[in-house]
Amino acid sequence: MAGVTLRGVRKSFGRIEVIHGVDLEVADGEFVAFVGPSGCGKSTLLRLIAGLEEPSAGDLSIGGQRVNERPPAARGIAMVFQSYALYPHMTAYDNMAFGLTLARTDKGTIAERVRAAARLLQIEDLLDRKPRDLSGGQRQRVAIGRAIVREPQVFLFDEPLSNLDAGLRVQMRLEIAKLKADLRATMIYVTHDQVEAMTLADRIVVLNAGRVEQAGTPLELYHRPRNRFVAGFIGSPA
């Protein structure tokens, strides 16, 4: 396991800066939710941590090691996307195994890890199916399973439940809570769902236009929002 540290992280696309110097410390094993309006930079921050984008300035470390120049595969992270991003021509099993196959993990270990993740996510009966024969919730479980089998130090979730209908979202929220308890890995979880953030997170980071507006425990933010903006997202309706 490992924590994640951002120091003065900035990101520009062309001449437009969208992340304006973010300082943030996520502790080992902590579950942190990023919330904020559309376009405030939540996905960009995750992609910077994952190594899918390069910071324009600042330092990023995972487990105390500076990772600015490290490729995504060498960062010990796994990311789960809103869109699932499964390979349509592969079975659920092969989708989950694919990253490990690329990393030349031996077949026995792959089978063990896929079975264990499938058990945890209750998709053991679905491993032979292709994505088109799975429901939205089942697809998202496969996508989460694919992250779990890599045994990452850090999980990054980008609005993993927002494509699901309300009932399933509640069920999957409980599943995520179970994962958090079972895996005890560091997790950074982007959501626009206040209930998800309040119920899952040890700490919530409220982002506004590429800056951290406030960070604190759900109760701190709820009872002592720094300003109207934070209150609008998670504060009590004062």
The verdict on 40 binding ligand ADP (CB under 6 A) reads yes
Among 196, 194, 188, 148, smallest CA distance to 171 is for: 196
Q: Is 41 a residue that touches ligand ADP (CB under 6 A)?
A: yes
Size of the site for Mg ion (CB under 5 A): 1
Identify the bridge partners of residue 207 per DSSP, sorted by sequence position.
Answer: 212
Can residue 39 be called a binding residue for ligand ADP (CB under 6 A)? yes
Which CB atom, from 39 or from 232, has the smaller least distance to ligand ADP? 39
> How many whole angstroms from its chain centre is CA 59?
20
The pattern of x and - marking residues 33 through 72 that bind Mg ion according to CB under 5 A reads: ----------x-----------------------------
Chain position carrying tokens 């309040």: 198
| Between 48 and 118, CB nearer to ligand ADP | 48
Phi, psi of 75 (to 5 degrees): -100, -5
The residue (of 113 and 203) whose beta carbon lies closer to ligand ADP is 203
The residues facing 16 across adjacent strands are 13
Sign of CA pseudo-dihedral 20, 16, 65, 204: positive
* Cβ distance to ligand ADP smaller for residue 18 or 168: 18
Q: How far is the CB of 80 from ligand ADP (least distance, A)?
A: 14
Contact between 15 and ligand ADP (CB under 6 A)? no
- Tell whether residue 191 is a contact of Mg ion (CB under 5 A): no
Which residue, among 177, 152, 173, has the nearest Cα to 31 in the 3D structure?
A: 177
Question: Which entry of Mg ion, ligand ADP, none binds 41, CB below 5 to 8 A by partner kind?
Answer: ligand ADP
List phi, psi (to 5°) of 176. Answer: -65, -40
